[in-house]
Structure 1
Amino acid sequence: MTGLMWHAGVLAVAALAALLLLRRIPGGGPRPPVSAPEPPTPPEQTLTEIRWWERRLAFAYDDPGKYPSLVRDRLADLAAERVRLRHGVTDPGRAREILGDDLHTLITAPRAEIPTRAELARLIARIEEI
């Protein structure tokens, strides 16, 4: 009888230990929602954004004094965001190394010349590469 009580006691302790371990395992309760990847931009929105940039560039070519506020500052924001997100860089010296002298001059020079369409396309492609 003593042997049976001893086995029953060991089984009770094992069951209690298993119960305590199971309580520590996260349950099947509500889980945080898994964020779905962002859907691709609809073509209509892309065309709208392209037209928006075209208008800004046309205004800048018509009135070169507006180039800094209409185009250059927006390009500088895009380049700064790319450098920060992709390289974790906020230091201006290191950012200049990543951007290259021509792109850095385009987005920081106070009296920069308005680039030609081909040059602007090349520099925008450089921002996309970053």
Structure 2
Amino acid sequence: MKTLLNFIWLIFGGFAMFLGYILAGVVAAIFIVTLPMSIALLRIAGFIIWPFGQSVVRKPQAGVGSTLMNVVRFLIGGLWHSIGHLVSAALLTLTIIGIPLAIAHIKLIPVSCFPFGKMVVPAAAANAHNVVVTVR
């Protein structure tokens, strides 16, 4: 079931969101200061392209630096990515088949705004960690 949802996700907006994260990651990589943000954006892009069957969990060693970078991320681009997820979710709710995908977009908003201090793991391994987001 998760493979089918991932293919539907890819066709109906997942690829466009993936390209948005890749573009933001490349732009962030141009400036040396924002290189950590680029790495976080590319990690999220890998999650965005194939979200079903994966979970986002907190890193146990995340501290003040992650919090500060999350604030910077939200102010620079997190708000815009969350608006993109909201618009995509609103459009997907117009169809019956798009409702699970719209729910997934809503669940991805916190990760898009605050990616630092988090890691992507398979959903089966997420029970051992503090789960932040699981897209099912």
Higher normalized strand content (fraction of residues): 2
Which structure exhibits the higher relative contact order, with contacts defined as CA atoms closer than 8 Å and separated by 6 or more residues? 2
* Fold agreement, TM-score > 0.5: no
Give the number of the structure whose alpha-carbon radius of gyration is greater. 1
**Given the two structures, how large is their TM-score scaled by the length of structure 1?**
0.32
